[in-house]
Structure 1
Amino acid sequence: MGNDTSVGDVLILERLKVTSQSSVPAFILLLLIYVFIMVSNIGLVVLILRNRSLQQPMYLLVCNMSINDVFGATTVVPHVLRDLVTSDSERYIRYTDCAIQAFCVHLHASASHTVLMIMAFDRYVAICNPLRYAAVMTNRAVAALSAAAWGTAFVLVAVLVGLSVRLSRCRSLVFNLFCDNASLFQLSCESVLVNNVYGLGYTVVLLGSSLGSVALTYLRIATVCWRSQNRAVNGKALQTCATHLAVYVLLVVSGFLIVILHRFPLLAEHRKVASVLGHVALPALNAVIYGLLNKEVRHRIKTGFQNNKVT
């Protein structure tokens, strides 16, 4: 198909197959979860920034994760909420908006991995080299690592989406509830070999470096804890690492599930639900894991409520 083949600028989105009776409960449930994500994650960031005792590298990196969760949920959830209450004739999106949404969706996913890699390094230094922790994880180092995490994700995703945007379009139906990179290049009738090669390389680099660094980090931490005879230190190390590892496992399982479901067209509805849950369940769980399940954060929240009652 030649490069001059194109269609209109307005694209049609697939819908989630829900009955008219279940669309309202689904809308209310998704809206409540979205409100919880926004309130809990933004509240966690404000709490950390307002308390000097929480302005430590570990919690500053948690701010990165919370900001990314708010960004990821806002990219997808309001869009899905709108489509739950609109008719099929109104389920459309402009191509430019679709490309921007695809970029934001993949930036959120990529930043989730790069930020968690930095958090794993922070836990490694804190447990394996505690005497050097203050010298290594300075505020400047945290800022530099955070910039590297976001910058790396931005460049990788910019190239990924840019390769799809360059293609001409011969279709107008987006095979998803929202736009992602696969939705973009599936609109073209041109060869997408370059897209597939880069997409595979992007996945291998991101997931390979993520899985490799986290696995090596926790193997090293496990070795140090096994050799140590201090139960108190080991217990604290396991507690701080368990939250990070739980979030990472959820992220990886969610990502692999969506990738696998993409390979089975008959499970398209399951893929749509899994895609939405990936941008809803993980941000909500992250706020709970890093917030309510963290002893220091819980203490600060409790103290804040008590001070408000006294006032």
Structure 2
Amino acid sequence: MYKNASYKELLTLVSLDLSTAHIYPVFVFGTLTYLIIVFCNLLVLATIALSKNLHNPMFILLFNLPISDIVGSTAFFPHLLFSIVTQNRGISPSACITQAFMVHFYGTGNLLILTAMAYDRYIAICCPLRYNAIMSPKKVIKCIILIWFINVSMMVTLILLLTRFKLCRTNIVDLYCNNPSLLKLVCEDTRINNFYGMVTIVLLQGGPLLIIIYTYVQILRTCVMTKHTDARKKAFQTCGTHLFVFLILQINTTFTLIAHRIQNVSPYFRRVLGLSILLFPPFLDPIIYGLKTTELKRSIVMLLKRNICSSKL
């Protein structure tokens, strides 16, 4: 019989199994990774905010992606770095639930933002004459509000369904807290949670995937039919970058959520997939968009040169 852990006892995350010799090198590497992620995403945010030439629907939507990436990285790295130094994998239930909310908030936010960006590219390439009417500033703002409303409401519901239970176990099966791993600490009937989880997976994974498939089929069709080589090249470059970022997050998230529901899946494989969700998109998003999106790359260079020159004066 399991002891009722309620919400007072410390929970224990999976051990990192670091030897004494590896503690500080791993800590330094983790700290540098986190700082690079935060710096690069803040740089993209500042560039879009300060560059008037980037104040258009595409970059206004992109502006939300670094915010989501910073939330995801901050949910994971600070506690991980603290665990590495102290060699203590304990976490309070309230901190664990907060981390789970932030992790799911980040993942859902990224999927919805990338979907909205795909729709923007679809209108720009397939309906260029109607672009300004369809993607007007008011409609873009409404789209952004809708994205965050859906994200917050669905994730709050997810966490509220979880917190109604008392915990009967304390050992979390993952490197960080998330809804599936927290549900495994519950000994009561979790069918409602499982049903809601499946609904969110279908809506938040399947919905964006269908939209992405439709928009990119139409974009590909338009690009093949166009006679303007430069326009075709630019469209492929922009959309290829976007599709690559989306697929990284979509594939990793889908397989991680499915792995939690299949008992025979290796826990190490599941943890690697889960870790990749919080590591690669926040690290790669600003680099990929910064290097592959010409307007953003030029604006970043100009912003950095301007700051360097002003600091020398």
Q: Which residue of 1 aligns with 2:116?
A: 118
Q: CA 1:238 to 1:130, structure 2 compared with 1: closer, same or farther past 3 Å?
A: same
Q: Which residue of 2 aligns with 1:302?
A: 301
Q: Which runs of 5+ in 1 are unaligned?
A: none
Q: Which residue of 1 aligns with 2:273?
A: 274
Q: Which residue of 2 aligns with 1:17?
A: 17
Q: Provide the C-alpha distance between the structure 1 equivalents of 2:90 and 2:221, rounded to a whole number of angstroms.
A: 54
- Among 219, 224, 227, the residue aligned to 1:226: 224
Query: Is the counterpart of residue 73 in structure 1 residue 73 in structure 2?
Result: yes
Q: Provide the C-alpha distance between the structure 2 equivalents of 1:130 and 1:58, rounded to a whole number of angstroms.
A: 13
Q: What SS does the aligned partner of 1:170 have?
A: coil
Q: Which residue of 2 aligns with 1:251?
A: 249
Q: Provide the C-alpha distance between the structure 1 equivalents of 2:70 and 2:190, rounded to a whole number of angstroms.
A: 32
CA deviation after TM superposition for structure 1 residue 261, in Å: 4.1
CA deviation after TM superposition for structure 1 residue 190, in Å: 0.6
Q: Which residue of 2 aligns with 1:165?
A: 163
Q: Which residue of 2 aligns with 1:50?
A: 50
Q: TM-score, normalised on structure 2?
A: 0.92
Q: TM-score, normalised on structure 1?
A: 0.92
Q: What percentage of aligned pairs have identical amino acids?
A: 32
Structure-to-structure mapping, 1:139-288, within 5 angstroms: 139-262=137-260, 263=262, 267-288=266-287
Q: CA 1:303 to 1:5, structure 2 compared with 1: closer, same or farther past 3 Å?
A: closer
On the 8 A contact 1:76/1:276 being kept in 2, the answer is no
CA deviation after TM superposition for structure 1 residue 6, in Å: 4.7
CA deviation after TM superposition for structure 1 residue 210, in Å: 0.9
Q: What SS does the aligned partner of 2:37 have?
A: helix
Matched to 2:299, the amino acid is R
Q: CA 1:268 to 1:107, structure 2 compared with 1: closer, same or farther past 3 Å?
A: same
CA deviation after TM superposition for structure 1 residue 268, in Å: 2.0
> Which whole-Å deviations, capped at 9, do the CAs of 1:102-132 have from their partners, x for residues lacking one?
1111111111111111001100110011111
Q: CA 1:199 to 1:306, structure 2 compared with 1: closer, same or farther past 3 Å?
A: closer
> Which whole-Å deviations, capped at 9, do the CAs of 1:226-284 have from their partners, x for residues lacking one?
22222121111111111110100111122134235433567323433332232122111
Q: Provide the C-alpha distance between the structure 1 equivalents of 2:246 and 2:66, rounded to a whole number of angstroms.
A: 14
Q: Provide the C-alpha distance between the structure 1 equivalents of 2:119 and 2:85, rounded to a whole number of angstroms.
A: 44
On the 8 A contact 2:69/2:282 being kept in 1, the answer is yes
Q: How many residues align?
A: 308
Query: Is the counterpart of residue 39 in structure 1 residue 34 in structure 2?
Result: no
Matched to 2:82, the amino acid is R
Q: What SS does the aligned partner of 2:174 have?
A: coil
- After superposing the two structures, state which structure 1 stretch, 281-290 or 299-308, moved more: 299-308
Q: Provide the C-alpha distance between the structure 2 equivalents of 1:282 and 1:180, rounded to a whole number of angstroms.
A: 18
- Among 105, 109, 112, the residue aligned to 2:107: 109
Matched to 2:126, the amino acid is C
Q: Provide the C-alpha distance between the structure 1 equivalents of 2:298 and 2:252, rounded to a whole number of angstroms.
A: 31
Q: Provide the C-alpha distance between the structure 1 equivalents of 2:210 and 2:265, rounded to a whole number of angstroms.
A: 33
On the 8 A contact 1:62/1:290 being kept in 2, the answer is no
